[in-house]
Amino acid sequence: MHRFVLALLIFSFCSVLLVDGSKTLMGFSIDLIPRHSPMSPLYNSEMNQTELVKSAAMRSIARSKLLFIGQNELSPPSPSPLPSPPSSSSSSAESVITPVPDHGEYLMRFSLGTPEVERFAIFDTGSDLSWVQCSPCKTCYPQDAPLYDPTQSSTYVDVACDSQPCTLIPQNQRDCGNSRQCIYLQQYGERSITIGKLGSDTFSFGPMGMGQDAKFPESVFGCAFYSNFTFEISSKADGIVGLGPGPFSLPSQLGDQIGHKFSYCMVPFSSTSTGKLKLGNHSSEAPRNGVVSTPFIINPSLPSYYLLNLEGISIGEKKVLTGQTGGNIIIDSVPIMTHLEQRIYANFISSVKEAFNVEAAEDAPTPFEFCVKNPSNMNFPEFVFHFTGADVVLNPNNMFIALDNNLICMTVVPSTGISIFGNWAQVNFEVEYDLGEKKVSFAPTNCSSY
Ligand SMILES: *[C@@H]1O[C@H](CO)[C@@H](O)[C@H](O)[C@H]1NC(C)=O
Ligand SMILES: *[C@@H]1O[C@H](CO)[C@@H](O)[C@H](O)[C@H]1NC(C)=O
Ligand SMILES: *[C@@H]1O[C@H](CO)[C@@H](O)[C@H](O)[C@H]1NC(C)=O
Ligand SMILES: *[C@@H]1O[C@H](CO)[C@@H](O)[C@H](O)[C@H]1NC(C)=O
């Protein structure tokens, strides 16, 4: 109950607190770089397609498992030998757990501070606070770029522990530092944490044309000085950019300035082109063909996620119904696969097998469950995800992924917990989030030329 009230308070406060009302409404876009694209610093030319697909699929499984832990096995953060350890609470039920981002499949650049320092970070719609590793650091994962040094930025200020942004952090995940700076703890899954001080500085994106950057002064972010993860983040990534529904996420902080809207358009993860993240509502100016919208829901026990309601899935003429109405599937930019609740998956896959009328390959590589050989002479049924109010018609390319050896594998797998609509299913859709109207819309789009 307490946590629900807090969530409500956060919602009513954030637009007042974190938005500079004097700014005019604007829209701008940022490249979303697929991690396996030759344009990505994470590009590894040694890996073949099968290895790339399998590694992405394993990351997807890791993300979905941590989400399951987040729902069911909350444990209080462990106090660590920190300069200013956050107070650990006796009540684990109050922990806000954000599942593991792992490496992330899409990354973006932005700049921080004055003068600007470029950062390369994981794009994550499933967490709120954006953070970078800062110096001095107590325990940081190794990173190639120098740590962000806030003392070198003329626009950086520590957020004070009695200020309102700090008090928006749940009480058991914040503390007051020696010089009254706000110390936060962010937890990913059961045993992964990052701790830092909450800071405010200028975020810049650009250049956006005519050599101008889009600049957002006094943006709140995490200046991390302690990380202990059970997963690995590439040394090429300097942190995470959060686009979740909570008050600290980038779109929530930009608020009125972007009309409370953002959208992304993702290209396949090994594409040689980039997708786009658009902040602002300029995407809505052009009429979009085939656009469909569905409400999103915020569940207080998963406050960093956009939850949709999936009523059913059509596979050709067959339709599998979930019988649910209250929100049952998370839409997430990080995991590549779509993870379906066990019962729904069982019905789904039996309809798929009937519709295809072909033998499933016996050697489906882990973690895939359903693969078929020699797909060239196959007829693909139409797949439609029926979200409440939005029938999203998927291309076979959204449902299957090609491995070497003439094998294609279904990117829908069973989940250990709640269902997740992953990023492969969203490729070549413009997916727009309207935080004001609380809805997500899908428009089929060629994201390579978006
Ligand atoms: C990381 O956390 C584990 C327990 O979760 C602890 O045993 C270990 O010492 C920590 N590592 C560092 C570097 O703090
Ligand atoms: C955004 O939406 C507002 C209000 O609906 C409109 O006035 C404005 O022209 C739109 N476009 C941009 C680029 O802000
Ligand atoms: C891809 O790489 C793996 C591991 O090196 C190897 O076992 C596999 O045969 C390769 N696949 C192809 C099609 O080259
Ligand atoms: C998508 O756009 C790219 C770049 O303009 C183009 O090369 C490609 O052929 C387009 N794909 C489709 C399916 O139209």
pLDDT for residue 40: 84
Rounded CA separation 278/265 (Å): 8
Beta strand 419-421 with 329-331 is parallel
pLDDT confidence of 79, banded at 50, 70, 90? very low
| 299 vs 210, higher pLDDT | 299
Q: Which of 203, 302, 294, 182 is nearest to 257 (CA)?
A: 203
334-350: string of b/e by CB count within 10 Å (b at 16+)?
bbbbbbbbeebbebbbe
> How many angstroms separate the alpha carbon of residue 51 from the centre of ligand 3?
7
pLDDT confidence of 293, banded at 50, 70, 90? very high
Give this prediction's pTM.
0.85
Confirm or reject: Cβ of 448 under 6 Å from ligand 4: yes
Find residue 403's DSSP bridge partners: 407
Ligand 3 mutation pick, 54, 404, 405, max ligand atoms within 8 A of CB: 404
Mean pLDDT of 226-254: 89
Residue with CA at minimum distance from ligand 3 atom 14: 48
pLDDT for residue 100: 38
Given a cut of 80, is residue 285 above it in pLDDT? Answer: no
Which region, left, alpha or beta, applies to residue 63 given φ > 0 means left and ψ of -120 to 50 means alpha? alpha
> How many angstroms separate the alpha carbon of residue 447 from the centre of ligand 4?
8
| 15 vs 214, higher pLDDT | 214
pLDDT for residue 5: 35
pLDDT for residue 436: 94
Helix, strand, coil % over all residues of the chain, rounded to 5? 20, 35, 45
Beta strands in 7-66 (DSSP E): 28-34
139 CA closest ligand 1 atom index: 13
Q: Which of 48-57, 72-81, 389-398 has the lowest mean pLDDT?
A: 72-81
Beta strand 429-434 with 412-414 is unpaired
pLDDT for residue 210: 58
> How many angstroms separate the alpha carbon of residue 65 from the centre of ligand 1?
21
pLDDT confidence of 192, banded at 50, 70, 90? confident
Residue with CA at minimum distance from ligand 1 atom 11: 228
pLDDT for residue 68: 55
Given a cut of 70, is residue 10 above it in pLDDT? Answer: no
pLDDT for residue 261: 93
pLDDT for residue 242: 95
Which residue ranges make up each domain of the chain? 27-280, 292-449
Residue 25 has which token pair? 């409404």
Mean pLDDT of 59-84: 54
Residue with CA at minimum distance from ligand 4 atom 4: 449
Q: Which of 264-273, 278-287, 390-399 has the lowest mean pLDDT?
A: 278-287
> How many angstroms separate the alpha carbon of residue 448 from the centre of ligand 4?
6
pLDDT for residue 56: 87
Q: Which ligand is nearest to the CA of 274?
A: 4
Given a cut of 50, is residue 74 above it in pLDDT? Answer: no
pLDDT confidence of 287, banded at 50, 70, 90? low
> How many angstroms separate the alpha carbon of residue 99 from the centre of ligand 2?
34
* Residue type at 79 in one-letter notation: P
Rounded CA separation 450/442 (Å): 14
Confirm or reject: Cβ of 49 under 6 Å from ligand 3: no
Given a cut of 80, is residue 65 above it in pLDDT? Answer: no
Ligand 2 mutation pick, 281, 435, 437, max ligand atoms within 8 A of CB: 281
Task: Please determine, looking at this structure, whether the domain spanning 292-449 carries the CATH number 2.40.70.10.
Answer: yes
Mean pLDDT of 428-435: 95
pLDDT for residue 315: 95
Q: Which ligand is nearest to the CA of 280?
A: 2
Q: Which ligand is nearest to the CA of 406?
A: 3
Given a cut of 60, is residue 77 above it in pLDDT? Answer: no
Rounded CA separation 157/148 (Å): 13
Rounded CA separation 166/220 (Å): 10
Sign of CA dihedral 250, 254, 255, 258: negative
Given a cut of 90, is residue 408 above it in pLDDT? Answer: yes
Mean pLDDT of 121-134: 93
**Catalytic site residues?**
124, 332
Q: What percent of the chain has pLDDT over 70?
A: 83
> How many angstroms separate the alpha carbon of residue 395 from the centre of ligand 1?
44
Are both 27-280 and 292-449 of the same fold?
yes
pLDDT, one tens digit per residue, over 156-172 is 999 999 999 999 998 88
Asked if omega into 38 is within 30° of 0 (cis), the reply is no
pLDDT for residue 426: 97
pLDDT for residue 362: 87
pLDDT confidence of 193, banded at 50, 70, 90? confident
Q: Which of 89-103, 246-260, 271-285, 323-337 has the lowest mean pLDDT?
A: 89-103
50 CA closest ligand 3 atom index: 1
Q: Name the CATH superfamily for 27-280.
A: Acid Proteases (2.40.70.10)
Pocket of ligand 1 (CB under 6 A): 78, 80, 139, 191, 228
Mean pLDDT of the chain: 83
Q: What percent of the chain has pLDDT over 90?
A: 55
> How many angstroms separate the alpha carbon of residue 191 from the centre of ligand 1?
9
pLDDT for residue 102: 52
Q: Which ligand is nearest to the CA of 447?
A: 4
The answer for residues whose C-beta is within 8 angstroms of residue 398's C-beta and 6 or more apart is 383, 411, 424, 425, 426, 427, 428
| 25 vs 265, higher pLDDT | 265
Given a cut of 60, is residue 284 above it in pLDDT? Answer: no
Given a cut of 80, is residue 16 above it in pLDDT? Answer: no
Given a cut of 70, is residue 28 above it in pLDDT? Answer: yes
Q: Helix or strand or coil: residue 320?
A: strand
Residue with CA at minimum distance from ligand 4 atom 13: 446
Rounded CA separation 190/183 (Å): 20
What does DSSP assign to residue 78? P
